[in-house]
Chains A and B, each alone.
Chain A
Amino acid sequence: MADQEQPTKNEGGETGGEQSDNHLNIKVNYEGNEVFFKIKKTTPLKKLMEIFCKRQGVNQDQMRFVFDGNRLTGTETAEQLDMDDQDTIDVLVQQTGGF
């Protein structure tokens, strides 16, 4: 089950991405570091987010996932967002400020 969203950082060539029309290779950009994920078009991105935060060891509540400038809540699917292969999801840390 986990293989669907597993990070493909090291096996990018192996997956190929063209094996199935249902799958996409998505880059996740966090502070300049890119992590590849092979995802199913119809799977909500929530799963990707959870795995990413788990692997990065960060609190998901403080992470902001942004695709083309739009915030992702996790309920969206790659299909809904018209994602293409090799598209990038940006991950930012919560911003706060007072002065």
Chain B
Amino acid sequence: MHRYIGVGTASTKEVEKKLLAHSRSHWKSDEVDEKAHLKHTPPATPNSHHTSAAQASPNTINKTRNKTNKRKVSKQHKLTAYTPTKRVRTFTEKITDNIKLPRRTEDHNFIDKNQARQPGRTPFKPFGEHKSTMASQQNKESSMQKLLEEEKKKQQTLELAFATNAQPEDEPSNEPESEEDILARKLNSLLTLRERSMIYMIDHKLHHDQVSREMSSQLITLTTDEMMEEIIREEVLKHLPQVIYENMLREVSQAIVQEQHSFTPLGPEKTRTAVDLVSRPNSSQVICSAFGIDMKRSDLACLRRTEWLNDEVINFYLGLCIERCDNSLVPVPKCHFFTTFFYTKLVEKGSYNYANVRRWTKKVDLFSKDKVIIPIHLGVHWTCAVINLRDSRFEYYDSMGGVERGKQVLKDLQKYIQDECKDKKNKVLNTGGWEMYVPDRYSIPQQENSHDCGVFACKFADFLSRDLDLSFKQSDMAYFRNRMACEIMDKRIYQ
């Protein structure tokens, strides 16, 4: 027995040393974390300390087992295996009573009850019990349990082997009290140390797990929150009135731009028709009649690519514009179109003469209109002038950028509208403050040849009567010529 105790004490010392070192290292490493531990597992109260130890004991044991070498484990079991003896049992009871370590008295029943009072049972049974209580709480850690069971079996075999060795020397009652006291004290301190280290390991692990779990969940919620926010913002923006308005505006402007730039292609059939229509300059065959004009093939022939437009085509086309304006389903400015003869008559023989055109507005009230559109013939050139009654200004659009001539034309028109007002309304219309808008060659589409001015003039009139931007250009003129031929034949302006 001496030998055994000697061995036992020596081994206890060794184990104690190791555990001390171990716990110290834990103390050191966990010094900072300890405060954090206290938050969720406050070890200040013995009960909570105790429960935490009890809860995670299988874990910790497993851990410690993994860490300590086999020899150490065997020593431990040597000690625990020794406990089933009566004397040791009384000692342990004494210890627990005297020292009154609260965590131990309640918590470590495996020594008090299971081990000491039921000596027949293996000392590792309590771990199994603990495990079962833990299992309910930590069902997920089945792998851990498996490991534990394996460990348990190992320990059991070791224990059996040791028990057979130890049994012949199983008479500690003969030993002096002092020895037993020492043993008990050592055992007690050993157990305390072990438990403390266990507790801190458990706490550390729990804390670490929780922190990592919280962090990962935080990360996930952060990213999902950001994603959700993004999605919601997009959805909300889609339905905000301002955004809707802007989208509509963009769509409409795109549609207009598309209309103006692609100008709804005629298609091969219409193009062939147009080419055929303009291909007989010597034919007097009347294609159609309207607006007092018998449109002959010879007149339409001026819509060939390089031909000059004559008054017939322009007046016919403007007649179609009047019809389109009067029957428009979409809101357009109210426009009156004069014929190409108006300005010629107004300034016949180079001098302004209102009387020549006084009767031209017998059936129309110009002052009920938004715009009066006047094609201007200047010898060999076509331009377009507008009396913009709505915006109180005179406008002159010349595809050759003739600014000076435009100013003269606008002065004549200014006189005309004042005379017209005096004649028809018997009122004085002061247009002195009206703007004279004569854009130069850089402000409006310009012809790049010497034969397209008529088409430009028609298109100025057409676009201005719809309040559209003058977005066409020289390269569109061939298309417009074909299109005008077809429109004249069909006696309607295409959409």
The answer to whether A and B belong to the same complex is yes
Chain A, Cβ-Cβ closest to B311: A95
In the bound complex, CA of A41 to CA of B294 (Å): 23
A92 located at the interface, meaning its Cβ lies under 8 Å from any Cβ of chain B in the complex: yes
The answer for the CA separation of A50 and B315 in the assembled complex, in Å, is: 22
How many CB-defined contacts (below 8 Å) exist between A and B? Answer: 83
A20 to chain B, nearest CB (A): 25
**Listed stretches A1-9, A10-18, A61-69; interface member:** A61-69
Q: How far is the CB of B473 from chain A (nearest CB, A)?
A: 17
Contact B360–A69 (Cβ < 8 Å): yes
Residues of A within 8 A of B (CB-CB), count? 19
Quick one: CB contact mask for B452-464 with A, threshold 8 Å, 1 for yes?
A: 1110000000000
A99 to B308: give the CA distance in the assembly, Å: 8
Q: Which residue of B lies closest to A99 (CB)?
A: B450
Say yes or no: is B302 at the interface (Cβ < 8 Å to chain A).
yes
| Given A66-B339, A90-B341; A99-B453 close (CB under 8 Å) | yes
Q: Does A94 lie at the interface of the complex (its beta carbon under 8 Å from any beta carbon of B)? A: yes
State the CA gap A37–B313 with chains docked (Å): 30
A97-B339 in contact given A32-B348, A68-B360, A73-B293 (Cβ < 8 Å): no
Chain A contacts for B453, CB-based, 8 A: 97-99
Which of A61, A68, A99 has a CB less than 8 Å from the CB of B451?
A99
Is B345 at the interface (CB under 8 A from chain A)? yes
The one of B294, B302, B339 in contact with A96, judged by C-beta atoms closer than 8 angstroms, is B302
A95 with B292, Cβ < 8 A, contacts A68-B359, A68-B360 known: no
The answer to whether B344 and A92 have CB atoms under 8 Å apart is yes
A70 close to chain B: CB less than 8 A: yes
Contact A97 to B447, CB < 8 A, known contacts A32-B348, A69-B339, A69-B341:
no
Q: Is the CB of A64 within 8 A of B311?
A: yes
Kindly list chain B residues whose C-beta atoms are within 8 Å of the C-beta of A71.
Answer: 291-293, 315, 339
- Chain B residues whose CB sits within 8 angstroms of the CB of A28 once the complex forms: none
How many angstroms between the C-alpha atoms of A97 and B344 in the bound complex? 14
Instruction: A69-B357, A69-B359, A99-B380 are known; give 16 further A-B pairs, CB within 8 A.
Output: A31-B348, A69-B338, A90-B341, A90-B345, A94-B312, A95-B311, A95-B341, A95-B344, A95-B377, A96-B311, A96-B454, A97-B453, A98-B381, A98-B451, A99-B400, A99-B447
